[in-house]
Structure 1
């Protein structure tokens, strides 16, 4: 089976369609990461990769140094599966 990765952020995709990481900030894949890190379900590096992937889809201005760091994290982790931990609704 051929592995398909997002051409923007390198995240593995189930099918070659819209990348689920390309979403608004309220639904960003890293919103529940701090809790996951606290419960040792996720490492800090995995969180950084998740944020880097999400940021690579955004068109927000950033310094060259920050963009280079994010691009490096994305490049080094192409195809790596990172679990997502969305925030749980408190209703």
Structure 2
């Protein structure tokens, strides 16, 4: 299941993180989806990209600590590095 949706309106790309029940918290799957969606944005026809979250409660709650609690120190470090890389 993809938790990230993309739509193009004229020259504006809209990326929506759609994990509303978890307040759009970022887990490994969401980060993978974000990478894939962002890499596929057509650079020729896009002047800006809006990143938003589904629902009215939260843009993004942050990292999914429910997933992180089971990670080793190394896995947690890799998760943080990946999250930072997605938004650069």
Band of TM-score, shorter chain:
under 0.3
Structure with higher RCO (Cα < 8 A, 6+ apart): 1
TM-score by length of 2: 0.26
